[in-house]
Structure 1
Amino acid sequence: MSEPSHALRPVPGTPALPHATSRRLPPYCGIVAVDAKDFTGHRAIEHGIISRTIPQLLQFSFERAGLTEVWSDRKFPNSTGDGYVFGFDPSAMPFVIHPWLHALQDVLTEFNVHSTGTVRIRLRVSLHIGPLPDSGDEFDGNGTPRNDTHRLLDSRPVKAVLASSSENTTQVVAILSDRCYQDAVVSGYAGRHEDYFIEVPATVAGKRFAQQAWLYVPVPSGNLYDRHILGDRVVEEGNAQGDAEGPGQDASGSPPPSVVNRADHGFVNAGPVHGGQTLNNNAVQGGNHEGRR
């Protein structure tokens, strides 16, 4: 469809400044980005192996989930060294949330079992939806939704949950933007109920970024409701819904508060006493005056 006849045409060669004239939105696109845990912790000789292996594992996981076309039709694919990012038809987002994330968990579990003693790969995954240019140009795929996808991937909650979970059990932790969550999960299109997702404040150290987001862990382990990871408000809401840890510790993993023992008109000693003890009770009980001891 052509631009309206009254639209102002920019002078050739000049940048298109924001709000200078109205233009059509780029097409909406689903975006998936993944990042390997502790990539820089691996020896340099292993970096190339990991960078090559991640796209292969992604391809295999999409095929296992029955989503071959999502991988074959991906837009502006790009390796980030320690991860991978690409765009896809946003109508497939419900299937990317489920069953793909679970398929990725299974594929990584199998890979890590057979790579014992060599390279192990655990992934953070970020999912988002937004308008991004897709005209075939080499600079396609750049824009705020792409930036936010990477910020979510680097945010504190998703990193902390993967780090605090068992490497033998949890291979994937995903974070969804609120737009992705509302459009694909709350709408009912995704094959996972809202109860599988945890609301988190997504922030990135050293960056001016703070958004509401949603964690999803296909195979959880450890304590998801940790106030050091999710924040007090999220943990308190989880406790109110009956999701707190059992007796012996609170949701943060902290020990229970100190026990205070009380003895009216008597002594409670928690240690040795040197010298005498004197108690003067002035209370009257049953008509008898408690005297000096």
Structure 2
Amino acid sequence: MRVREPAVLPDPGGAVVRFDYVQEGPDLTALSLVVRFRDPAVEVRDARVAAAGTVVRTGVWTTRDGALVCLVGTPLGRSPIPRSGAFEILVAPPAELTGSLRVHGSALRPGLAGGRPAHACGDREVRFAAGRVDPVAGRRPAVRLCLAVDTEAYSRFSAPEAERAQRRFADLLTDVRRVVGVDDDETGLQPSGDGLFTVLPPGVDESVVIPGVVDGLRSGLVRINRGLGERARLRLRVAMHRGHVALAANGWIGSAVTTVHRLLDSEVLRRALRETPTADFALVVSDVLYRDVIVDGYPNLDPDRFASVTAEVPAKRFAETAWLYLPEG
């Protein structure tokens, strides 16, 4: 088990102290993080475990001595937890955040006599100095590239199937961000179970990022879906737009946020994916992105593969020119 040095991220409610973890040994059935801040005046407002693209709020509590405990999984369970994730603690913005943390994991070992499971436990304690936080940084309005992705026909899944689909979905989008070279610490991620809204860092090179996202989705979905049956196959609707956005108390705001979600929900995009069963995803981009970036023909993104369409959501009185792309089957 490896836990990175904590990062302090701005948040509308103060600051988030984030501890990313990665499993390096056997699968764990439970993982807990016990955090003690040196300053007793530090006000903890919320805590959560983010793993496999979802946020788990259960298993978070404060002990009598003021330590904060975050738990994911079941110590005596049989199901492994995601091999990577993060503990996130929302605090009021003090000058500095220092303290210690103890990581404790529980792993299922081969059964003993009679087939009963046994658990091996281990822990590790480190001290941290998370440094100062600027509660305003990262929340300033800016023009940013927005990406919205949604899973087709997600409601068909049973609970275990949905868990597997979410894990595949989250791993895919994580890989795509890594391939295009964006920094997650500067990226806004707003998960919704079957989807993810992403606000890319300010100033990214769109001529690199947009083709990289398309190529990453194409190759990643081929890899994920290889060997899966039709029911388990992951198929996505994808929309991209650029505009002026800001982070508010409960998520991202701005007309660009509304537009990219209208594009994602448009009937022309839904119909394109529905009527092209060989495609793993369908993409729609706004007219401004097509004319500013895609039309110039950057590598791996042929502008002739895009078709001009009218993206409409009548119930929202939305209708705009957009450009539709389907990968070659």
Provide the TM-score with structure 2 as the length reference: 0.52
Q: Which residue of structure 2 aligns with residue 151 of structure 1?
A: 262
* Aligned-pair CA distance for 1:217: 1.6
Query: Would you say the 8 A contact 2:168–2:224 is kept in 1?
Result: no
Compared CA separation, residues 61 and 27, structure 1 to 2 (3 A): closer
Q: 1:80 to 1:195 in 2, by over 3 A?
A: same
Cα shift at 1:178:
0.9
Residues 148 and 196, structure 2, Cα contact 8 Å, conserved in 1? yes
Counterparts of 1:274-289 in structure 2, within 5 Å, are none
Q: SS of 2:229's equivalent? A: coil
Counterpart for residue 239 of structure 2: 126
Q: Decide which structure has greater helix share.
A: 1
* Structure 1 CA distance for aligned equivalents of residues 158 and 176 of structure 2: 26
Q: Does 1:108 align with 2:226?
A: no
| Corresponding residue for residue 289 of structure 1 | none
1:48 and 2:163 are equivalent in the alignment: yes
Amino acid at match of 1:82: D
Residue identity in the other structure for 1:196? R
Partner of residue 141, structure 1: 252
Q: 2:274 aligns with which of 147, 163, 170?
A: 163
CA distance in 2, matches of 1:184, 1:82: 29
More strand by share: 2
Shift of 1:204: 1.6
Indicate the SS of the match to 1:124: strand
- Which runs of no fewer than 5 residues in structure 1 stay unpaired? 1-24, 221-293
RMSD: 2.4
In the TM superposition, what is the alpha-carbon distance from 1:147 to its structure 2 partner? 1.1
Helix, strand or coil for the counterpart of 1:114?
A: coil
Shift of the 112–176 alpha-carbon distance from structure 1 to 2, 3 Å rule, reads same
Taking structure 1 as reference, are residues 83 and 59 closer, same or farther at Cα in structure 2, changes over 3 Å only?
same
Partner of 1:30: 145
Aligned residue-pair number: 189
Alignment of 1:182 onto 2:291 = yes
Cα distance in 2 for partners of 1:71, 1:53 equals 21
Q: Per the alignment, do residues 198 and 93 of structure 1 end up closer, same or farther by CA in structure 2, a change over 3 Å counting? A: same
Measured at CA, do residues 165 and 212 of structure 1 come closer, stay the same or move farther in structure 2, by a change above 3 Å? Answer: same
Deviation at 1:117, TM superposition (A): 6.5
What is the identity, as a one-letter code, of the residue corresponding to 2:142? P
CA deviation after TM superposition for structure 1 residue 35, in Å: 0.6
CA apart distance, 1:184: 1.3
Which amino acid is 2:164 matched to? I
Q: TM-score, normalised by structure 1?
A: 0.58
Unaligned runs of 5+ in 2: 1-139
Using the alignment, how far apart are the partners of 2:265 and 2:218 within structure 1? 19
**1:204-219 equivalence runs, <5 A:** 204-219=313-328
CA distance in 2, matches of 1:38, 1:46: 12
Is it true that 1:93 corresponds to 2:206 in the alignment? yes
Q: Classify the secondary structure of the residue corresponding to 1:132.
A: strand
8 A contact 1:105–1:219 mirrored in 2:
no
Quickly say closer, same or farther: Cα 1:209–1:118, change in 2 above 3 A. closer
- Which range is displaced more, 142-151 or 42-51? 42-51
Identity score, percent: 30
| Mapping for residues 202-241 of structure 1, pairs under 5 Å | 202-220=311-329
Q: How many angstroms apart in 1 are the aligned matches of 2:169 and 2:213?
A: 15
Structure 2 equivalent of residue 83 of structure 1: 195
| Cα distance in 2 between the residues matched to 1:188 and 1:118 | 36
**Cα distance in 2, alignment partners of residues 74 and 175 from structure 1:** 24
Larger Rg: 1
| Aligned-residue offset at 1:205 | 4.3
Aligned equivalents of 1:117, 1:127: Cα separation in 2: 27
- Per the alignment, residue 182 of structure 2 pairs with 70
Q: 1:159 to 1:71 in 2, by over 3 A?
A: farther
Equivalent position of 1:192 in the other structure = 301
What is the Cα deviation at residue 185 of structure 1?
Answer: 1.5
